[in-house]
Structure 1
Amino acid sequence: MSVTEILQLVDQLVEKQTGKHLDDLEKTVVKGIWQGKTYSEIADECGYDSKNYIGDVSRKLFKTLSEELGEDVNKYNFCWTLERVINFQFVGVNTNITYCPFYPQADTNQSIPDEEKTTKNTIYHDLTLAPKITHFYDRKTQLQTLSHWLTHQNTRLISILGVSGIGKTTLVKHFIDLNLQQFDVIVWKSIKLTQSLDTIITQILTAINPESIQTDNKLTELFNLFRQQRCLIILDDVQEIFTTRQLAGQYKNESKDYKTFFTRMTEIEHQSSLILISQEQCQEMISLDEELYPIKCLELEGVENTELLSKLGLKDESSWLKLIQLYEGNPVYLKNIASLIRRIFLGKVSEFLREDGLLLTEDLKSWCNELFQRLSPIEQQIVLEVSKSNQPLSREDLRQSLSLSSMELINGLQSLSKRYLLKPIEGEKISFNLSPVFREYVRNFCQD
């Protein structure tokens, strides 16, 4: 699609919304953004001393386009938004385009600097460590939310959060399977396998262009890539960069460069996104205001869809919902307990439910033990106390039974909620209850 056609398209959209056509400066700004120029470069071309005025003109244009199209339009999703407008024929321009780079394909006479040739027009998808998704249950709303953040809002830092097995990784992989064409570069990394941020950055840059790597300036090179191409980086098992036996979200000494990286993702201008999949919420997602920074959190809870059990060889379908509720709608917990029901109860869920209390398999005990060992001493005291009661406990109840200061207690409660192990319950008094599976583990295997 030529620059002339882009100008015609934007002019039509602006005229429909405001009744006015683009002026000469606005045309220059549209052309410059389409060509991937910075505000400073556009200002120089127009003869302005400051890039701020060009930025103001751009933001006014983006606001008009957002109002006309009914979605958020900004510098980073400008090209991709116009691509969708054309392909879905929202307006009367018949050109069909399938790839929308931040420079003009048709203008073959325009030279591209050598340092930009190294990364532009590179398609690279590394999903070697991503799981294969065979079934996707009851997450359509969350999938739509994630798609909106990445497709329409260009959110740069997203956390997908929840306990182990709840479906965080499945949700992200399903989104990628549906949206591969939206990103030039997609890389999936597991922190459990590679904890070093420097190693991860080196692997990404080497895959895209090994000749350009400068060993003392890799982070700058990575953000140059993020500016020039639309990248999606997924980091799975992010809780592994946090210290065990301390409150949630405390970085290991050797992992503090991640903190800088996450913050830079929100502060530096680029067109790429980073997804963090974690059992613990990192501090940046709490301290940064979503209204001021391009960040979002998606917290996953259990599902209540009996289709989840339909392929697990179980009987007594009328009892399935009760089983799902007993194990918190956690897909991994349910698949694990279904194996036990098939082997010992011949698949009869109603027979299994006659057992006294919630049963834990060896795998469930192992997962819970791993969680318990990550807790700080303060958190362990709290969960041990809460697990003794079948009823939620208030702060006053816990304060009377534990030798903790008010600050220690509140910090411990907050940390447990950031691990998605403890839920506040609103009532006459705010009280707290443990995840049923984790409570059963603590009650039976962690008491003195």
Structure 2
Amino acid sequence: MFDNLHESHFDVNSKSEFTWIDAKEAADFALYKSFGKYLSDIEIKLLQGSWEEKTYDRMAAIYGYSAEYLNKDVGNKLWHKLSQALQEKVTKKNFKAALRRIWEIERNSSNFNQQKIDSQNLLNKNLLNTDVEKSESPISPSSVQLPFPESSVPPESPFYIERNNVENLCFETIIKPGSLIRIKAPQLMGKTSLINKINAYVKHISYQTVYLDLGGVERKILTDVEKFLRWLCCMVGRQLKLENQLHDYWDSEILGSNDNCTAYFEEYLLTEVDAPILLALDNVDKIFSYTEIIEDFFGMLRSWHEKGKILDIWKKLRLVLAHSTEVYVPLDIHQSPFNAGIPIGLAEFDRPQVQKLVSIHGLNWDETKVEQLMNVVGGHPFLVRLAMYELCSKSLTLEEFLQESSTEAGIYSNHLRGYLQLLQQCPKIAEAFKVVVNSSEPVELNSMGIYKLHSMGLVERQDNHVVPRCNLYREYFQRVLV
């Protein structure tokens, strides 16, 4: 359908009107020529909404973003980039005429026609917000650069799939003074990708950002609260490009470690930076077992959040904490940051989100094939993307892939063996999981067993009972846990 449409649009003798598709392709051509990047998902939505003469408020209601975000962040950035690419002032009011001019100049160019074919690889059913019939040609996987899904997804990547209004809630929360966001989800569910998305958003509105992965902190630091808090101050200062002034502010003879750390932030770090600061702490659950620091550290974070409600200097600090499932540590309810702020849970992808990944990968699947894959791996983001990577990279049918998915020959073998090694280090948890995978009914476990298996991402909770997260885990661990 698109091929025929494009031929008529770009025929030399065509009398066709300048359409939304033409405008989108002209914008893609100009931006790629100038910056090496096509329109992002949200930019396409905003450009199409502007084409249809929708207000920012109307687009916000339709797309689930705040009007302020669409106007001051996405819109301003897009019009500025188009102004640079087209070498004229482009606004929401005049962009149609500006894009038409470059379309009329370039539409007979071989480069333009080739690039519009390339950009089609990122133009899928969902991004166009139109009803696309199943008979259309899928996106060509050979023309999409497929990164191996082994880490977080960059915020501007077409492979980043937005959750249902999660990102919008985070954006609206993080711009509030002294805000705190708690992202809770099992491993490999996209916590770090969401943090990166939040970071990218606040950078666009001139915030300073600091990202710290607590999973990589050395053990010798985690066993001494003073070392750990000095490490925190040092790392935050480095990312803010500030000189280390700990020797001038740290007074161990009179003040405790929490007081010293708080004073360093209040009197130096927050004072030296004019903009709001986002401090994102990833994998905070990795330090739960270090009783030497957790009570002081988490109590301090909670106090910072409370200070942000009343003190101007602390209103500049915005906190994001990411952790796996529940916080199984003994903390006073009034000193814990885990019962404050806005909680964000990351669920598995639903069918429309999986279908969007199908389109992006260029797989010509009907609903039956989507159902077949989800029957094995559910909507687990990592497992779904890994499956599609394999199917695009090799000449396998879905049936062949699923047949070997839980075997040592399948692409999940390293992932599954990693879990097996963890379970072998915890025989009691392994025995509990063995009962779960061999039961056709939900299994009741003690709270610690549920906590550990759920934080690993191996089970789904149903009240006080659990079931395997997906049939892939059930099939594999039925075989190996003997």
Q: TM-score, normalised by structure 2?
A: 0.52
Query: What is residue 361 of structure 2 aligned with on the other side?
Result: 312
1:210 counterpart = 2:243 = yes
How has the CA–CA distance of structure 1 residues 349 and 313 changed in structure 2, closer, same or farther, with 3 Å as cutoff? farther
3-state secondary structure, aligned to 2:278: strand
Please give the secondary structure, in 1, of the residue aligned with 2:216: coil
CA deviation string 1:346-378 (max 9, x = no partner)? 24224434669786622321442365367x554
Helix, strand or coil for the counterpart of 2:233?
helix
Contact 1:266/1:293 (8 A) holds in 2: no
Match of 1:273 in 2: 318
SS in 2 for 1:192: helix
Distance, in Å, in 2 between the alignment partners of 1:263 and 1:291 is 5
Cα contact 2:214–2:283 (8 A) shared by 1: yes
Root-mean-square deviation (CA), in Å?
3.9
Match for residue 477 of structure 2? 442
The CA distance in 2 between the partners of 1:223 and 1:131, in whole Å, is 33
Aligned to 2:203: 180
1:223-247, Cα deviation, whole Å (9 max, x unpaired): 44576452111122323223xxxxx
Q: 1:291 to 1:266 in 2, by over 3 A?
A: closer
The alpha-carbon distance between structure 1 residues 356 and 372, as it changes in their structure 2 partners (threshold 3 A), is closer
Partner of 2:282: 236
Matched residues in 2 for 1:139 and 1:171: separation? 10
Equivalent position SS for 1:263: helix
Which deviates the most, 380-389 or 193-202? 193-202
- Can you list the C-alpha shifts for 1:240-274, whole angstroms capped at 9, x where unaligned? 223xxxxxxx3354666533443333343421122
Q: Which residue of 1 aligns with 2:459?
A: 422
Does structure 1 retain, via aligned residues, the 8 Å contact 2:182–2:342? yes
Give the whole-Å Cα distance in 2 for the aligned partners of 1:145 and 1:439: 34
Moved more, 288-297 or 196-205: 288-297
Matches within 5 A, 1:27-66: none
CA distance in 1, matches of 2:303, 2:406: 48
- Runs of at least 5 residues in structure 2 that lack an aligned partner in the other structure: 1-67, 73-150, 222-227, 252-259, 309-313
Partner of 2:162: 138
Q: Distance in 2 between matches of 1:441 and 1:307?
A: 28
Please give the per-residue CA displacement for 1:133-174, whole angstroms capped at 9, x wherever unaligned: 313213141112212322247423x22122222121222212
Q: 2:466 is matched by which residue type in structure 1?
A: F
Higher helix share: 2
User: Could you tell me whether the CA contact under 8 Å between 1:327 and 1:334 is conserved in 2?
Assistant: yes
CA shift digits 1:195-222 (9 cap, x unpaired): 5443232122254532643344334212
The counterpart of 2:349, out of the listed 303, 315, 331, is 303
In structure 1, distance between residues paired with 2:330 and 2:162:
26
For 2:455 and 2:318, the matched residues in 1 are separated by 23
Instruction: Give yes or no for contact 2:209–2:279 (8 Å, CA) kept in 1.
Output: yes
- Tell me the distance in 2 between the aligned counterparts of 1:151 and 1:367: 39
Equivalent residues in 2 for 1:9-158 (5 A)? Answer: 132-133=154-155, 134-135=157-158, 136-152=160-176, 154-156=178-180, 158=181
How far does the alpha carbon of each residue in 1:172-192 deviate from its partner, in whole angstroms, 9 at most, with x for none?
Answer: 212222232445421112223
TM-score, with normalisation over the residues of structure 1? Answer: 0.55
When the two structures are aligned, how many residues end up with a matched partner?
A: 297
Residue identity matched to 2:182: S
Matched, 1:384 2:407: no
> Is the 8 Å Cα contact of residues 201 and 219 (structure 1) preserved in structure 2?
no
Letter in 2 for 1:203: M
What amino acid sits opposite 1:273 in the alignment? R
Deviation at 1:334, TM superposition (A): 1.8
Assess, with a 3 A threshold, how the Cα gap between structure 1 residues 291 and 163 changes in structure 2: closer, same or farther.
closer
Matched, 1:432 2:466: yes
CA deviations 1:379-410 (Å, max 9, x no partner) are: 333212111113322x3xx6xxxxxxxxxx24
Shift of 1:286: 8.5
- 2:406 corresponds to 1:364: no
Distance apart, 1:303 and its partner CA = 0.7
Q: Distance in 1 between matches of 2:332 and 2:371?
A: 38
Question: Which residues of 2 match residues 251-262 of structure 1 at below 5 A?
Answer: 251=290, 253=292, 258-262=297-301
The 1:291/1:170 distance shift into structure 2, 3 A limit, reads closer
Task: Note closer, same or farther for the CA distance 1:223–1:365 as it changes in structure 2 (3 Å cut).
Answer: farther
CA offsets per residue over residues 106-130 of structure 1, 9 Å max, x none? Answer: xxxxxxxxxxxxxxxxxxxxxxx98
The alpha-carbon distance between structure 1 residues 307 and 293, as it changes in their structure 2 partners (threshold 3 A), is: closer
Percent identity of paired positions between Structure 1 and Structure 2: 16
CA distance in 1, matches of 2:428, 2:356: 40
For 1:251, what is the secondary structure of its paired residue? coil
1:300-332 C-alpha deviation (Å, 9 max, x unpaired): 111122111333354434412431353121222
- Select the residue among 151, 158, 162 that pairs with 2:185: 162
SS in 2 for 1:145: helix
| Unaligned runs of at least 5 residues, structure 1 | 1-83, 89-128, 243-249, 399-408
Deviations 1:38-91 (A, max 9, x none): xxxxxxxxxxxxxxxxxxxxxxxxxxxxxxxxxxxxxxxxxxxxxx79x98xxx
